[in-house]
C-alpha cells in the first residue's frame, strides 16, 4: 500500500484529521502517533443514549465526589462511542457493520442496558474473558513445559459462560487436582511450581487477593505491617504437591508426555527462607491475615488455602476482582497498581470502591452483574473528550473516559472483524490465524523480552499494521473479503454506489458513519476513479491505521 502522506512520529493533541484525500492518496497520521486529550468530533448528527435509564447505585456517589472535587464531568458518550467501547471491553473486538447498524437504529432509553445484556450472552464474551484470564494466570504467550494452555482456556470459557460465582472459580483454580488435560484448572498450579512454588505464591496473592506479597519475600514491608514471614506462610500452603508425567507412545512408537497428574498429600514440611539478619527463618501455613491451619500435618494444604481465600466473611478476594474488573473497563483501577491493595496505597474514590465490593460480595460473586453495574455507571458512559478543566488526567476521578490502546488480542480480532479476513471462503484457516497471532505477539514484545499488554505504537508494531501480511491480505479485494463484498453490495443498494461504499468502510473500521465533510471528499475522489478498488484500499488502509481505530475511547 502507498505510504505517501504519512507523518512519522507526530503526536497530535487528539485524533488525526479524518482521512483527508488528495489525488486518491490518503494522508493519515502514523499508527504510532497515539492520541492526546481525546477524539475529534464525531458524526455531524450523532444520537445520544440516556444515562439516566441505566444509572445505578454508583452514580450518586460518583457525582457527589465530582462535585466535591470541583470537577466538570465529560458529556455522556455518544451512541457510536459507547457501542465500540463496550464491544471491545466485553467481547474483545469491535462490532460488525450489521451489529453497529442494528444498535444505532435501535430506540428506547434502555438500549444500552439491553445491548450489555445481549453481549453478556454472546459466545465471544466467555471467549474474551477466558483469554484475558489465561494471560493473567499463565502469562501472555508463555508456554511452560507440560502446561496445556488450551485446556485452561477452555475450562475458563465454561466458567464465564455458566457465570459461575467467582468464589467457586477461584477455589477450583487454587485447589485443582487430576489430569491437566481433563481438568484445565490444574495448569495454573503446574505452570508456576519452579523454585519451590515462589512464582505460584506471588501470582496467587496478586491475582486473587490483590496484594503484592512478593514485596516481602526478602524483607519486611517498609510501609505497612506485612512481614517476610507472611509471604512464606502462604508459600507453605504449596507443600505436599505431587506431580506425575503420564507418558504414552505416539504413532512412531516414541514415548512422549501425554498429560500431567497433580495431587496433594498431607505433609509436615515447612518453608525455609533467609532473614535479613543472616539467620534462617521457617514458616508453617499461615494466611496473610494471621489465620492458621489447625493440624497442618494432616491437612491438604491447598484445600485449606482455597477455603481461606474464598471465605465469605473476607473482603480480599472481592476487592481484588472489583478493582481488576473496574480497571479492565475504565483503564485504571481504584487502586493502582491494580494488584497492590493495602494501607500503603489508598484507593481513589474509596467509598465507591467499598460499595461496589460489598455489592459484588453480596451478589455471590456474580461477574456478569459486576459488568452490568460498571457499564451502566456514569463513569463508564462518559465521553473520552476531556472538558475544559484544570484537573490533571490523574485527578479526574473517572469523570472522563480514559483513552486506552487495544491489547494485541483486541487489535487482531478487530482487524479480522473489520476486514472479514477470517470468514469461510476467504482463504483463511485456523493454522494461518494462529500463525498471525504468534506474529502479533512476537511483534508486541519489548526489548526486555517481556510482552506488552497493548499496542504501544513502536515502529515494528506500526510497520506490521501498515504493511503486515494480515493487512495486505485484508485489502487484497479477493472474493469473500470485506472490500469485494462492499463493491458487490453497492451495485444492489438503493443509495448511490460511491456513498454506500464509503459509508460501509467507516462503519466497518470506526463503527460510525463518516461526517459530512469526510463523505463529500471521499465520494468525490471515488467517483473520479474508473476502478473503485484501489481507492477503497487506500481509504480502508488509512482508517485501519488511524488512532481512532487503534484506541479504545
**Structural domain includes residue 180:** yes
Name the grid cell of 164.
Answer: 459461575
The residues with which 552 forms a beta bridge, in sequence order, are 404
State the cell numbers at 78: 455518544
Please provide residue 282's backbone torsions phi and psi, each rounded to the nearest 5 degrees: -130, 150
| DSSP label of 282 | E
In a domain, 151, yes or no: yes
Average pLDDT, the chain: 81
pLDDT at position 371: 97
Q: Is 86 inside any structural domain?
A: no
pLDDT number for residue 82: 98
Cell of 433: 490465524
**Cis peptide preceding 264, ω within 30 of 0:** no
Q: Which residues does 403 contact at the CB level (< 8 Å), separation at least 6?
A: 34, 35, 38, 331, 384, 551, 552, 553
Rounded CA-CA distance 472/440 in Å is: 15
**Chain-centre distance for alpha carbon 314:** 27
Q: Determine the pLDDT at residue 252.
A: 76
Q: Is 332 left (phi over 0), alpha (psi -120 to 50) or beta?
A: beta
Task: Show the cell assigned to 543.
Answer: 482508517
Residue 75 is assigned to a structural domain of this protein: no
Per-residue pLDDT at 415? 87
Asked if the structure places residue 325 within a domain, the reply is no
Cross-strand pairs, 422? none
Q: Are strands 280-283 and 404-405 parallel, antiparallel or unpaired?
A: unpaired
Domain count, the chain: 1
Can you tell me the distance from the alpha carbon of 151 to that of 353, in angstroms, rounded to the nearest whole number? 34
Task: Identify whether the C-beta of residue 216 lies closer than 8 Å to the C-beta of residue 235.
Answer: no
Domain span holding position 170: 143-309
Q: Note the pTM of the prediction, 2 decimals.
A: 0.86
Whether 133 is in a domain gets the answer no
Instruction: Divide the 553 residues of the chain into consecutive groups of 10 and give the mean pLDDT of each group.
Output: 30 32 33 33 35 66 95 95 98 96 95 97 97 92 80 98 98 97 96 91 93 63 63 87 87 82 91 71 83 86 96 95 97 94 92 96 96 97 84 79 89 87 51 65 49 53 67 78 88 89 95 95 89 90 91 93
Q: At what angle do helices 532-544 and 516-527 cross, to 10 degrees?
A: 150
CA 441 to CA 417: how far, in whole Å?
18
pLDDT at 115: 97
- pLDDT tens-digit series, residues 221-234: 555 566 667 788 88
Q: For helices 166-175 and 194-209, what crossing angle results, to 10°?
A: 170
Query: For residue 550, is it within any domain?
Result: no
Compute the distance between CA of residue 539 and CA of residue 41 in angstroms, rounded to an integer: 19
Among candidate residues 243, 229, 316, the one with its CA nearest the CA of residue 281: 229
Residue-wise pLDDT for 300-339, tens only, equals 999 999 999 999 999 999 999 999 999 999 999 999 999 9
Assess if residue 298 is contained within a domain: yes
CA dist 305 and 282 (Å) reads: 18
8 Å CB contact between 408 and 452:
yes
Amino acid at each position: 500500500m502507498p505510504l505517501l502522506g504519512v507523518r512519522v512520529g507526530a503526536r497530535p493533541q487528539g485524533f488525526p484529521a479524518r482521512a483527508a484525500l488528495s489525488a486518491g492518496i490518503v494522508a493519515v497520521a502514523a499508527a504510532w502517533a497515539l492520541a492526546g486529550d481525546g477524539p475529534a468530533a464525531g458524526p455531524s448528527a450523532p444520537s445520544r443514549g440516556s444515562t439516566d435509564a441505566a444509572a445505578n447505585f454508583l452514580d450518586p456517589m460518583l457525582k457527589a465526589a465530582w462535585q466535591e472535587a470541583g470537577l466538570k464531568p465529560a458529556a455522556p458518550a455518544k451512541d457510536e462511542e459507547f457501542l465500540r467501547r463496550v464491544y471491545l471491553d466485553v467481547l474483545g473486538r469491535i462490532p460488525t457493520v450489521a451489529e453497529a447498524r442494528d444498535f444505532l437504529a435501535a430506540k428506547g432509553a434502555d438500549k444500552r442496558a439491553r445491548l450489555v445484556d445481549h453481549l453478556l450472552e454472546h459466545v465471544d464474551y466467555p471467549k474474551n474473558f477466558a483469554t484475558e484470564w489465561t494471560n493473567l494466570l499463565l502469562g501472555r504467550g508463555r508456554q511452560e513445559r507440560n502446561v496445556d494452555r488450551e485446556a485452561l482456556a477452555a475450562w475458563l470459557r465454561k466458567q464465564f459462560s455458566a457465570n459461575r460465582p467467582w468464589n467457586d472459580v477461584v477455589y477450583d483454580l487454587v485447589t485443582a487436582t487430576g489430569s491437566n488435560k481433563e481438568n484445565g484448572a490444574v495448569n495454573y498450579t503446574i505452570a508456576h511450581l519452579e523454585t519451590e512454588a515462589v512464582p505460584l505464591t506471588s501470582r496467587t496473592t496478586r491475582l486473587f487477593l490483590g496484594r503484592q506479597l512478593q514485596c516481602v519475600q526478602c524483607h519486611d514491608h517498609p510501609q505497612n505491617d506485612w512481614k517476610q514471614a507472611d509471604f512464606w506462610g502462604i508459600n507453605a500452603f504449596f507443600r505436599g504437591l505431587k506431580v506425575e508425567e503420564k507418558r504414552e507412545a505416539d504413532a512412531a512408537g516414541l514415548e512422549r508426555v501425554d498429560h500431567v497428574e497433580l495431587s496433594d498429600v498431607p505433609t509436615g514440611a515447612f518453608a525455609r527462607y533467609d532473614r535479613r539478619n543472616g539467620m534462617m527463618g521457617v514458616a508453617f501455613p499461615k494466611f496473610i491475615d494471621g489465620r492458621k491451619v489447625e493440624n497442618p500435618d494432616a491437612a491438604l494444604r491447598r484445600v485449606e488455602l482455597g477455603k481461606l481465600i474464598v471465605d465469605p466473611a473476607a473482603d480480599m478476594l472481592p476487592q481484588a476482582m472489583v478493582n481488576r474488573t473496574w480497571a479492565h473497563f475504565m483503564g485504571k483501577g481504584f487502586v493502582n497498581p491494580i494488584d497492590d491493595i493495602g494501607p500503603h496505597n489508598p484507593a481513589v474514590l474509596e467509598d465507591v470502591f467499598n460499595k461496589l465490593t460489598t455489592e459484588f460480595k453480596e451478589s455471590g460473586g456474580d461477574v456478569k452483574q459486576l459488568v452490568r453495574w460498571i457499564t451502566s455507571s456514569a463513569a463508564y458512559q462518559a465521553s473520552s473528550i476531556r472538558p475544559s478543566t484544570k484537573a490533571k488526567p490523574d485527578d479526574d476521578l473517572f469523570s472522563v473516559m480514559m483513552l486506552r490502546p487495544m491489547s494485541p488480542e483486541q487489535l487482531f480480532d478487530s482487524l479480522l472483524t473489520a476486514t472479514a479476513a477470517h470468514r469461510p471462503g476467504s482463504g483463511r484457516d485456523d493454522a494461518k490465524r494462529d500463525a498471525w497471532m504468534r506474529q502479533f505477539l512476537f511483534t508486541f514484545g519489548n526489548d526486555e523480552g517481556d510482552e506488552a499488554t497493548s499496542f504501544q505504537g513502536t515502529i515494528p508494531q506500526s510497520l506490521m499494521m501498515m504493511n503486515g501480511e494480515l493487512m495486505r491480505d485484508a485489502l487484497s479485494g479477493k472474493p469473500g473479503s470485506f472490500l469485494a463484498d462492499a463493491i458487490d453490495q453497492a451495485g444492489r443498494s438503493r443509495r448511490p454506489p460511491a456513498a454506500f461504499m464509503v459509508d460501509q468502510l467507516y462503519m466497518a473500521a470506526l463503527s460510525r458513519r463518516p461526517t459530512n465533510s469526510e463523505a463529500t471528499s471521499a465520494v468525490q475522489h471515488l467517483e473520479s476513479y474508473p476502478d473503485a478498488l484501489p481507492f477503497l484500499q487506500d481509504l480502508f488502509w488509512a482508517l485501519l491505521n488511524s488512532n481512532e481505530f487503534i484506541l479504545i475511547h
